[in-house]
Structure 1
């Protein structure tokens, strides 16, 4: 009996050893950055059994090989639609500013999409104004309305948008809605699913949570985009989920969420539509052809539309590491000023190095993040980066009037990046994100004013005070830094 027990013990031990070797091998062949690889190895050996479970549930595979390969094919096919745009004059960007040129070249070469010009956009910083404008555009829609949101939470102003959408659908407008399964869980449990479907609104539950599928794809790979498309002419894009800030996560007691959205008209809507059509086909298997921006004349009036813009879309199956490379390119392009806003600051070592290097080069670098966060782990992990940033001269502002949820970067008041991507591992490597690069000094000036407004409601972190913090806080910061691949 003892020999039998001894034999099975050896079988279990050898099996466990092979499992550890297998996971380590996969970490090495993934070619992750050294800090990320080191963190994974530490987790595996520090908490062995739990560490292996974390690896399989939260590291690989991302979306599943079949879906990832399918999305790659869909993306390539839809890019063919771009060729049709070439018949329009004054469509593609022929030149860019000094600061924006490297980023626009990167996106053209890597994504196969050139920047487009002659766009008109509006910066929206007040959620009431966003909703009012959105409902108006929905009510005036003539052909189609497409939406994708990470979170749609029923209640308050969100219900007003739902009513407007239902009204348009009943008038014969083709309405499509993509909502993330995890983020919009309250929506899918509400009456609105039945009511909307009855009104002939097509609803897709993206990346549906299924216990059986956890072994085939990451359960935390999410559809994180926030986009609205109306009549192929108008688009809304930014950080705002479809929620009422007066109701959303009030139990956290951190105040209202502060968001930034842009409303855009022009050819860029076609490019955004291509991204949406890929997401739709991935989830439904049904192809919807991206619609071309419609103008009364093929030669779009430069008087009405002027801004040069570029779409940066990421996610499993899309251009690999494009968000990460775009951020690095934008930061290294800075010569005078760099301002970053993000609710979740858990950057890669490359991004930290780029930001610090910019400051050492004499660039005035400011990072604005919320003082209080809805994620306990992110709050402490973020602080592990403060010391290195402060030593290089970076100014860190802690926003005190709610949870600053805006995701934006402004370089030399000329190049703006606005969208859904946070400065964290999840947005950089995992989620479906979308960012708009804007090469326009007038818009940059408006975004700069908004950043100044954020700073006026923030407290500048004093380096002297920071470096005197207690030793136990440093331990907590470094502990949660170990889990940065999951944040």
Structure 2
């Protein structure tokens, strides 16, 4: 019996070490950032069995072969649909500003998505303003409503939106709703989807969480976009999920969530509609890309460009990170970055430090309290290096600051769904607006001023005196930062 036990133990250990060696070789052969590879090797070696399992589940950007192939084929249809928007103005490239032109060139070459002119943009920065404008536009919808959100949470104003969508469907408006299967799990398992489908609303859960498929595709790759488009003419995107902050996560101890949305009236809304239609068809829905009407907008007095930038694993690699780095290295005077989650890649960290070193005023506005303990500690591990380089770090104390926005030289902005972490920059499906509209940029500058007024700034000398225990915890989570 002892010999049998020893033989089984020997075979088990041999198989385990062979598996560890094989997975480690796989990690080493994958071409990725060195820090990510080292973090995975650390997990594999220090967590017996679980580390290997964790890598097999979450270690590679794998959506599934059939899904990825379908997404790539359908994306060609999206490109052809969006090519129509360039006919708005044959000379539109001549009107692009110093930031907009290189961003347009990058996105058009990588994504096939042109920037557009003739858009009317409006910043909405309070829940009341956001829901009021959304509800007004939904009530006036005549033909189509397209929605896509990571989280839909029951209660308050979100329920009012659901009722308006049901009313719209009953009067003949075609409504398509995409919700992330993980982020909106409670909503999708509740009563509202039943009522919506009964009224004629098309509802689909994106990237369904199925334990039987866990080894066929990554379960943590999520659909993180926030999109609302009415009649292919009016669009919304930004940081806010379909939640009423007065009802959402009230017991988390982080305060009310603070978000922004951009309302678009113009050609960029058509781009958002096409992205939603592509996502819809990738999830197995019928084709609604081909039913997008030819854009009939004419450029108005607003000659400033809007670039819609989708990103995710089914799209060219790291497009949004490239756009962000392009803006940072192009900045001459100041850069302000606002995000709820800050776990930068090596490239982003180096770009911010380099910008500060060459005299650019670099500011980070982050929430003081966060709903993710791991991300919070990992974020703190970068503060010392940034503060030493001259970067100013503000910690917002008026709630969980969920706004995702970046401003360069007070004249070009990025606003959307992307957090300043590697999950958003490289993995999740996201969408961002890049624009240089002076009025909107000034509105965002004033909004950043409001955030600063409810924040405190870190002092480098005081930061260096924090307890040793804090430093050790920060460094522990720093080792896993590339995986967060």
| In structure 1, distance between residues paired with 2:82 and 2:242 | 30
1:456 aligns with 2:465: no
- What is aligned with 1:198? 198
1:374 aligns with 2:376: no
1:216-227 map, 5 Å: 216-227=216-227
Alpha carbons 1:343, 1:373 under 8 Å: kept: yes
| In structure 2, distance between residues paired with 1:280 and 1:414 | 34
- What is aligned with 1:346? 343
| In structure 2, distance between residues paired with 1:164 and 1:272 | 21
How far the C-alpha of 1:3 sits from its partner, in A, is 4.1
Q: CA RMSD in A?
A: 1.6
| In structure 1, distance between residues paired with 2:470 and 2:170 | 57
| In structure 2, distance between residues paired with 1:6 and 1:43 | 28
- What is aligned with 2:429? 432
1:158-173 map, 5 Å: 158-173=158-173
SS in 2 for 1:215: coil
Query: Alpha-carbon deviations, 1:145-177, whole Å to 9, x = none?
Result: 000000000110100101111111110000000
- What is aligned with 2:45? 45
Residues 94/14 of structure 1: CA separation in 2 closer, same or farther (3 Å cut) = farther
How far the C-alpha of 1:62 sits from its partner, in A, is 2.7
Alpha carbons 2:394, 2:455 under 8 Å: kept: yes
Alpha carbons 1:100, 1:330 under 8 Å: kept: no
TM-score normalized with structure 1 length: 0.96
| In structure 1, distance between residues paired with 2:83 and 2:91 | 12
Alpha carbons 2:124, 2:130 under 8 Å: kept: yes
| In structure 1, distance between residues paired with 2:334 and 2:432 | 20
How far the C-alpha of 1:87 sits from its partner, in A, is 3.9
| In structure 1, distance between residues paired with 2:355 and 2:398 | 28
Residues 92/23 of structure 1: CA separation in 2 closer, same or farther (3 Å cut) = farther
| In structure 1, distance between residues paired with 2:138 and 2:198 | 18
| In structure 1, distance between residues paired with 2:393 and 2:82 | 41
| In structure 1, distance between residues paired with 2:299 and 2:282 | 36
Alpha carbons 2:152, 2:187 under 8 Å: kept: yes
1:65 aligns with 2:70: no
Structure 1: which 4+ aligned runs deviate by more than 4 Å?
Answer: none
Alpha carbons 1:421, 1:435 under 8 Å: kept: yes
Alpha carbons 1:146, 1:230 under 8 Å: kept: yes
- What is aligned with 1:409? 406
SS in 2 for 1:410: strand
How far the C-alpha of 1:74 sits from its partner, in A, is 1.0
Query: Alpha-carbon deviations, 1:430-454, whole Å to 9, x = none?
Result: 1110011112222211111111110
SS in 1 for 2:49: helix
| In structure 2, distance between residues paired with 1:307 and 1:143 | 28
1:385-396 map, 5 Å: 385-396=382-393
> Unpaired runs of 5+ in structure 2?
none
How far the C-alpha of 1:478 sits from its partner, in A, is 1.1
| In structure 2, distance between residues paired with 1:457 and 1:89 | 43
- What is aligned with 2:131? 131
- What is aligned with 2:465? 468
Decide which of 319, 323, 334 is 1:337's aligned counterpart.
334
| In structure 1, distance between residues paired with 2:444 and 2:61 | 38
Decide which of 412, 417, 422 is 1:420's aligned counterpart.
417
Residues 275/269 of structure 1: CA separation in 2 closer, same or farther (3 Å cut) = same
SS in 2 for 1:251: coil
TM-score normalized with structure 2 length: 0.96
- What is aligned with 1:314? 311
| In structure 2, distance between residues paired with 1:68 and 1:392 | 41
How far the C-alpha of 1:85 sits from its partner, in A, is 3.4
Alpha carbons 2:225, 2:431 under 8 Å: kept: yes
- What is aligned with 1:248? 248
The count of aligned residue pairs is: 483
How far the C-alpha of 1:77 sits from its partner, in A, is 2.3
Answer with 103-112 or 79-88: which moved more.
Answer: 79-88
Answer with 45-54 or 163-172: which moved more.
Answer: 45-54
Residues 84/100 of structure 1: CA separation in 2 closer, same or farther (3 Å cut) = closer
| In structure 2, distance between residues paired with 1:292 and 1:402 | 41
Alpha carbons 1:233, 1:293 under 8 Å: kept: no
Alpha carbons 1:43, 1:482 under 8 Å: kept: no
1:140 aligns with 2:140: yes
- What is aligned with 1:482? 479
How far the C-alpha of 1:39 sits from its partner, in A, is 1.1
- What is aligned with 1:29? 29
How far the C-alpha of 1:25 sits from its partner, in A, is 2.1
SS in 1 for 2:452: helix
1:215 aligns with 2:215: yes
Alpha carbons 2:229, 2:236 under 8 Å: kept: yes
- What is aligned with 2:100? 100
How far the C-alpha of 1:407 sits from its partner, in A, is 0.2
Answer with 54-63 or 216-225: which moved more.
Answer: 54-63
Query: Alpha-carbon deviations, 1:87-139, whole Å to 9, x = none?
Result: 43368443322233322221111111221111110000011111010010001
| In structure 1, distance between residues paired with 2:407 and 2:147 | 27
Query: Alpha-carbon deviations, 1:311-350, whole Å to 9, x = none?
Result: 1111121121112111111111111010000000011011
- What is aligned with 1:302? 300
